[in-house]
Each structure stands twice: as C-alpha cells, then as structure tokens.
Amino acid sequence: MTTQPAFLFFVLTLSLITSRLSTAGDLPLNNPTIIQLGVQNVGTTVIGHLEGRALFLTQGFLKTKAGEVPALECRDPKGTLVWRVQGEKPDYLMGEYLQWIDPGGKVEPMVLWTFFPNPKGGEGLENEGGLYRIRDGKLVHRFPKASNNASFPLDLASGGQDLLYSGQQFIQRFDLEKMQTRWEYNDRINFCWGYPAQVPEISGIAWGSEYNLPDGESSSLVAIDLKGNELWKVDGIREDLGSTPLFLADIDSDGTSELVKNGLDLVGRNRLPHNNIHILSLSGELIRTIPSMMYSNGLADLDADDHLEAFGVVSHRDGGTEALKRKELRCVDLVTGKIEWEIPVPRVGLPAANALAADLDGDEDLEVMIADGNPVFYGRLDGPDWGSLYVVNNRGVLVQTVEFPSWARRIAMCDWDLDGMNELLVQVDGDPASLYLFETVAPATVTDWTLPFGSPTHWGAEHHEQEMPSEE
Ligand SMILES: [Ca+2]
Ligand SMILES: [Ca+2]
Ligand SMILES: [Ca+2]
Ligand SMILES: [Ca+2]
C-alpha cells in the first residue's frame, strides 16, 4: 500500500469527510469522465499497460453498411481509438470474453477475442476466435472453434504462460510460443459463459458445467491437473454451475483456499426456491451450501472478521422463486451463512460480473460496488433501458446510487492515468456504448485488469495483490 505523505494527508482528510457523509459533495463517486466507444453490446473489459501507457480493450458489435459485425477496439487513456478489428461477416454479433495475455519471452502481449453467430440468421456458422497483438491489433493466431467462455493464461512454474482455452465442450492447454494445442479435455463440459479457474494449490484447473449430465437438470464440478488428467469430480448438483465464476479464496482465513461457486436456477429450470453458493475444499469435498438468490457476486472480507462475504443483487431470472419476492442487494457471510445485510432497491435487472469491493475513499474500510441494469440483448427484460451502480459501505449502508442511461456492467478498477490510485471503470451500454471513469483514492496495488475478474483465479472483488504460486 502507498504511504506517500500526500496520500496519507488525503486519506486523513477523506476520513474526516466520510465520517459525516451527508451532502452530495461527500459522495465517493463524482464527475465521471465519459469516453464514447464505437461498439454496442459491450462485454468484458480488459486493461493493461504497454510501453508505459494504459490500454483499454472492449468488444461488441459495430453497425456498418453490411450490417452488424463484431468488432474489438483498443483505446488509450484519452479515449482515442488506437486500433479496431472487425469481423467480415454480418450475422455475427459479438463474443463476451477478452483476455490480455502476456506470456513474456519472445511473444508480444496479445488479446484473445472470441465471437459467435447471431442465433437468428447465423445458423450454420461456427464460433470463431483469435489472438491479436495488442500493439497494433494484428491477427497472430485464429482458432477455428471458439465459444463465449472465459479462457485465461496459465502461469507456469518455469515462467511464461500457456493459454487455458475453453470452448463449449472442451478445455485445451495451448502453447503460446508454438501456437499449438498441447492437449484437450472434454469430459463433463458444457459451457456457456463458463468460467474455469486455475488452482495453483492443486497444480490444476477447476470448473463447473451447465446442466451437463444426461438428466438435463444437474451439473458437475471437475478438477484436472495441468497435463489434462482428472483430479476429482462432483456430480449431481441440481443447478447451473457453468455461468458464474469459480472463485478460489480462503473464506475463513485458515491459510487454505476453498472453491466458491454460485449456482443458478437458470431461467427457473428446476423451479428451486433459491439458488445456492457451494463451497468446496480443494479436494472436491462439498463443505457448505448457502442460499444465494444472486447471479454474480463479489467476494471480500468487508467487516474484517476473517470471514469472506459474498455480495450482489438478487436475480429474478436465475435466483429461484424466493428471489422473485425481493428487490434487494444482499451480503452473506460464507463461513456462518448469516445474512449480513439486505438493502432494498427500486428495481432489479440482470447483473453480470458486476460486483467488486475496494477502498474507494481511502478510509481503509472497503466499499462494495454493485452494478445492475436492463441488458440490451441477451437477457433483455421488458421495459426501458436503465443502469444503476450502488455503493454500499462495509456496515451495509447504501451511500450512493449512480444512475446511467443504459445497462451498467463489467466494472473494473485500474490505474488508468498512472497516478498511483485506481480509477473505477464502468461500461454503459448504448448505441454505441460509453465508458465512465470515476477517480478514486483506492491505492493501485494492481495496475492491470487483464481478465474479466482481475486475476486467473477470478479474484476481482477485493482488488489487491495476491500471492499466486503456480506449479507445472
Ligand atoms: Ca480456508
Ligand atoms: Ca467478514
Ligand atoms: Ca472506504
Ligand atoms: Ca489513477
């Protein structure tokens, strides 16, 4: 953490101010810089630094004379377009995932981008993907099979990185120097918005699938090693385990990580009263199941009691029948299962990857940020466009609501202007979308946000540097 005198003075000043949060001027998020993007239906955000400047990458679709084509764009901190690549075929829309990949050595930093056909009009077309050089957007490698799933760089004990590349029904380990697949694993995989994670403690990779078992109602959690051999599997959980991140986190501060997976009752498939957060040991033992009612959630120890909390907003689509009775932000202790707070909100939409925690105002207490809204495309709800960002303090008090004209999503923190403090980035959809940048005094301990959840283990919630041992 930064301890420069100017910073400490700022922290002190802010502590005095935030102790009596009362007027608009005291709110943690103010006067955003708004950058106009070129694409619509934005997905994941990745940010990294190349040759001393931050670069922001996003993707979606672009309206052209030929129709709507998928496009990937790279912008500098002023919002100026550095480069853009776009698909050639109309009827493709967009993907979701971007990953900033910097394996080091002879390989230049690249971004992985995948995109898929429009369900109406793109029948018969394959999902495609590619690795593009971040410097100039040049295509380095094309993947003939792709999906709308999270892939991520695998940190190797030997240094460097391979790519963990996931399709709809496979996981591959891909050599980024030779640009070839080392192995493919394809048992118990059914991904759509799937989020595998690297688990350094078991030298492996773990994931949950989406209703992959023959009954069509239940799912598996699986771990394999870095050679593609199965380590363990858990079958028969009657929820969609494929559409949310698998978090690796030490929920009880005993020095050993657990696996945390928020299941979904996807579009009410099993008519469950509520979906659940499943907590597993690293050997695949199911330790605890806690009612969730949330879609995606962030994880952090908000009240500094050495227990992690999960927080997010209720999902009417996937949170089960009890969730339909509620419009609220929620926070649950993952060790005791106790609800820490419930905060009513005027409306709920479809939050996707939209919760994180950081010390926004520098008073050394974490704030929670949860974004929500009406999607523009997949998951669109009846009614107008809207987007909201809620800021909740670590005592469960809603301290600020920021309204946006459209779906607010994929929030991330990064030191955009390299002043040692993180900016909060909020993508707000539209025709085309915008990027909102809020200055904060959260110390930038991690300068890059290279993956949708900030790290290969999707630890984007409490945004700080983690020890990430890795072995091959
Ligand atoms: Ca633990
Ligand atoms: Ca706690
Ligand atoms: Ca704070
Ligand atoms: Ca900054």
- Span from the CA of 364 to the centroid of ligand 2 (angstroms): 15
Report the separation in Å between the CA atom of 147 and the middle of ligand 4, taken as the mean of its atom positions: 34
> Per the domain annotation, does 333 fall within a domain?
yes
Q: Which residues pair with 339 in a beta bridge?
A: 332
Read off the CATH number of the domain in which 446 is found.
2.130.10.130
Question: CA 114, CA 118: separation in Å to the nearest integer?
Answer: 13
Task: Please state, as a whole number, how many other Cβ atoms lie within 10 Å of the Cβ of residue 351.
Answer: 25
Q: How far is the CA of 143 from the centre of ligand 2 (A)?
A: 42
* pLDDT of res. 457: 65
* Residue 366 within any structural domain of the chain: yes
387 Cα: distance to centroid of ligand 3 (angstroms):
23
pLDDT, residue 147, reads 79
> For residue 387, is pLDDT > 90?
yes
> Which band of pLDDT confidence, cut at 50, 70 and 90, is reported for residue 230?
very high
Ligand 4 midpoint to CA 32 (Å): 13
Distance from C-alpha of 123 to C-alpha of 118, rounded to nearest angstrom:
8
What backbone phi and psi angles, to 5 degrees, belong to 198? Answer: -80, 135
Provide the residues around ligand 3 (an ion) whose CB is within 5 A: 359, 361, 363, 365, 367
Whether the CB-CB separation of 421 and 415 falls below 8 Å is answered with yes
Q: Is 261 within a domain?
A: yes
State residue 149's pLDDT score.
Answer: 79
Tell whether 290 is covered by a domain.
yes
Q: Are 415 and 19 within 8 A, CB to CB?
A: no
> Who's near 359: CB < 8 A, 6+ residues apart?
365, 366, 367, 441, 442, 443
Check residue 446 and give its pLDDT: 55
CA of 439 to the centre of ligand 4 (A): 7
User: Counting ligands in written order, which one lies closest to the CA of residue 310?
Assistant: 2
Cα-to-centroid distance, 403 and ligand 3 (Å):
21
Ligand 3 centroid to 244 CA: how many Å?
27
Per-residue pLDDT tens over the stretch 246-294: 999 999 999 999 999 999 999 999 999 999 999 999 999 999 999 999 9
Instruction: State how many domains the chain has.
Output: 1
For ligand 2, an ion, list residues with CB under 5 A.
301, 303, 305, 307
Most confident range (mean pLDDT) of 63-67, 255-259, 349-353, 461-465 is 255-259
User: 365: Cβ–Cβ under 8 A, 6 or more apart, which residues?
Assistant: 359, 393, 394
Q: Average of pLDDT values for 359-372?
A: 89
DSSP code of residue 196: -
Q: State CA 78 to chain mean position distance.
A: 24
Angstrom distance (rounded) from CA 470 to CA 467 = 10
Relative to the alpha carbon of 307, which ligand is closest? 2
Please report whether residue 140 resides in a domain: no
How many A from CA of 81 to the centre of ligand 4? 20
* Nearest-angstrom CA–CA distance, 153 and 174: 9
Q: Which residues in 165-189 are b (16+ Cβ under 10 Å) and which e? A: bbbbebbbbbebeeeeeeeebeebb
Domain of residue 340, residue span = 253-459
Beta bridge partners of 171: 166, 185
The residue to which tokens 């792709």 are assigned: 146
pTM surpassing 0.85?
Answer: yes
On the question of pLDDT at 90 being above 90, the answer is: no
Residue ranges with CB less than 5 Å from ion ligand 4? 415, 417, 419, 421, 423
pLDDT interval class at 415 (50, 70, 90): confident
Q: Round the average pLDDT of the chain to a whole number and report it.
A: 86
Residue 351 is assigned to a structural domain of this protein: yes
**8 Å CB contact between 296 and 247:** no
In a domain, 332, yes or no: yes
In one letter, which amino acid is 440? T
Q: Which ligand is nearest to the CA of 201?
A: 1
Using CA atoms, how far apart are residues 153 and 450, in angstroms rounded to an integer?
10
Q: The tokens of 419 are what?
A: 């002043």
Q: How far is CA 188 from CA 199, 207, 246, in A?
A: 18, 10, 16
114-119 contacts at long range (C-beta below 8 A, 24 or more positions apart): 114/143, 114/146, 114/147, 114/148, 114/149, 114/151, 115/59, 115/70, 115/87, 115/146, 116/92, 116/146, 116/147, 116/148, 117/91, 117/92, 117/93, 118/68, 118/91, 118/92, 118/93
CA dihedral (210, 190, 123, 144) positive or negative: positive
Q: Which residues, 6+ apart, have CB-to-CB distance to 115 below 8 Å?
A: 59, 70, 87, 92, 93, 94, 95, 127, 128, 129, 146
> Does the pLDDT at position 471 exceed 60?
no
335 CA distance to ligand 1 middle (Å): 9
Beta-strand ranges (E) seen in 170-316 are 171-175, 180-185, 197-199, 204-208, 219-225, 230-237, 246-249, 258-262, 276-280, 286-291, 298-300, 309-313
Question: Does residue 294 fall inside a structural domain?
Answer: yes
Of 100, 117, 91, 88, residue with least CA distance to 58: 100
- Residue 33 token pair: 């810089």
Q: Which residues contact 429 (CB under 8 A, 6 or more apart)?
A: 40, 41, 42, 373, 375, 376, 385, 387, 406, 407, 409
Which residue from 42, 83, 21, 25 is spatially nearest to 436, judged by alpha carbons? 42
Q: Which residues contact 238 (CB under 8 A, 6 or more apart)?
A: 217, 218, 219, 270, 272
Name the strand (E) or helix (H) holding 16.
helix 5-18
CB 387 within 8 A of CB 406: yes
Residue 353 Cα to ligand 3 middle (Å): 21
Q: Which of 23-32, 150-159, 391-400, 454-463 has the lowest mean pLDDT?
A: 454-463
Question: For residue 8, what pLDDT band results from cuts at 50, 70 and 90?
Answer: very low
HSE-CB at 423 with a 13 A cutoff on CA atoms is: 22
CB-based contacts of 469, cutoff 8 Å, min separation 6: 200, 201
